[in-house]
A and B are shown apart, each in its own frame.
Chain A
């Protein structure tokens, strides 16, 4: 059973666009929902995390969780070329992080 699924992309958008990145998960025991950004050949960098269903905003980034549908999203407003990276969703269930495969985002100037 694939626990965390994510569209690999690549997703190419023009600068200034709103970006929507999505993941689905299968295990109801998952507790915390994280979004990481990973640049090529670097470690994942934590962007945001959330616990409950609903939205959480941090600057241009909004994380959304729908536990009833087992669906999580990350929205990026006013996307910038520097946002070009791979975005990983990850879910924590008390002992480890389980990652999605990542979506590669390219923001073109």
Chain B
């Protein structure tokens, strides 16, 4: 069964450093998403991406965050200057045109900011 692949599975970074989280969505999917889950809290929407541009973003997704689809397969989330409160699981998801609501999530990247 097709999978969404995320790397790395765990990243530790110092406060103020830049991190890039990487995702390979399912190959025929056209909608891409980033969500995050702080330990013990809800899964929260960050951003959606379609047709090479952001289609929706949440209040969390401020100027510190950016997304990119640098080639035909990768989808990245960059956090420019990490804060302690950015520590969370970050999930990438993708969906296709026929069922845009049928997200497939990756296994996540656990980001720890120290």
Residues of chain A touching chain B, judged by Cβ–Cβ distance below 8 Å, are: 31-32, 34, 36, 41-46, 49, 88, 90, 92, 95-102
**A96 to B58 CA separation, bound complex (whole angstroms):** 10
Residues of B within 8 A of A (CB): 4, 33, 35, 41-45, 48, 55-56, 58, 89, 91, 93, 101-108, 110
By a CB distance below 8 angstroms, the chain B residues around A101 are: 41-42
Given contacts A95-B48, A96-B33, A100-B42, contact A41 B108 (CB under 8 A): yes
A-B contact pairs, 15 of them (CB 8 A): A31-B101, A41-B89, A42-B108, A43-B108, A44-B43, A44-B105, A46-B104, A49-B101, A49-B102, A90-B43, A95-B56, A96-B48, A97-B101, A100-B42, A101-B41
Q: Add 11 more A-B contacts to A34-B101, A41-B89, A99-B43 (CB < 8 A).
A: A42-B107, A43-B107, A44-B105, A46-B102, A49-B102, A88-B43, A96-B48, A97-B103, A98-B45, A99-B42, A101-B42
B101 touches A95 (CB 8 A): no
Which of A31, A32, A43, A88 interacts with B106 by CB under 8 Å?
Answer: A43
Rounded to whole Å, the gap between the CB of B72 and the closest CB of chain A is 23
* Alpha-carbon separation in the docked complex, A97 to B44 (Å): 9
A98 to B103, CA, bound (A): 12
Complex alpha-carbon distance, A81 and B37, angstroms: 25
Residue in chain A with minimal CB distance to B91? A43
- Counting from the closest, the 4 A-B pairs by CB-CB distance are A43-B105, A92-B101, A99-B43, A32-B101
Chain A residues whose C-beta falls within 8 Å of the C-beta of B89 in the assembled complex? 41
**Complex: A103 Cα to B101 Cα, angstroms:** 21
